[in-house]
């Protein structure tokens, strides 16, 4: 299913970190955002992975989990449509702090920070493949 720049810009406008951007800036970020689809149980990223992409849920759900030292899997957060995960990638380059298994999920993936996406020279493709 194809998603238009206008639909993605609308999704971004409802996300706090992007909500202050003007329409042309939102459309620029939407142009470089990469649509992603994940099957149920597919891992979007794992704790300890490099952190270079943010995800905004379009449809479906995902959750953040961590493995406890005693073997239990702890759910840290659940994400649904319009919610963001992996957002620390926009602000620093620390490694991922949790694993994100999908439940299935469709997401938009802006590959850079809102401030750098607002400039024409920031048209970089996503560097992480899932």
pLDDT at 128: 28
Domains of the chain, start order: 5-122 (2.60.120.10)
Give the predicted TM-score (pTM) of the model. Answer: 0.74
Q: Does residue 56 surpass a pLDDT of 60?
A: yes
Higher pLDDT, 60 or 105: 60
In this prediction, residue 75 carries a pLDDT of 94
C-alpha pair distances (Å), 51 with each of 4, 5, 58, 89: 26, 25, 20, 5
What average pLDDT does range 30-37 have in this prediction?
89
pLDDT category at 86 given cuts 50, 70, 90 is: confident
What do you get for the CA distance between the two ends of the chain, in Å? 18
Closest alpha carbon to 33 in 53, 15, 13: 53
**Does residue 46 sit in helix, strand or coil?**
coil
Residue 125 has pLDDT above 60, yes or no: no
């Amino acid at each position: 299913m194809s998603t238009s720049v206008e639909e993605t810009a609308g999704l971004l406008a409802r996300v706090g970190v992007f909500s202050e951007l003007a329409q042309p800036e939102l459309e620029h970020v939407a142009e470089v955002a990469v649509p992603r689809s994940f099957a149920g149980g597919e891992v979007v990223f794992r704790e300890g992975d490099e952190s270079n992409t943010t995800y905004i849920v379009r449809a479906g759900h995902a959750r953040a989990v961590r493995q406890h030292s005693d073997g239990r899997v702890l759910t840290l957060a659940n994400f649904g449509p319009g919610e963001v995960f992996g957002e620390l990638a926009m602000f620093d380059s620390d490694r991922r702090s949790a694993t994100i298994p999908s439940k299935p999920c469709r997401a938009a993936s802006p590959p850079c920070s809102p401030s750098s996406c607002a400039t024409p020279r920031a048209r970089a493709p996503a560097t992480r493949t899932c």
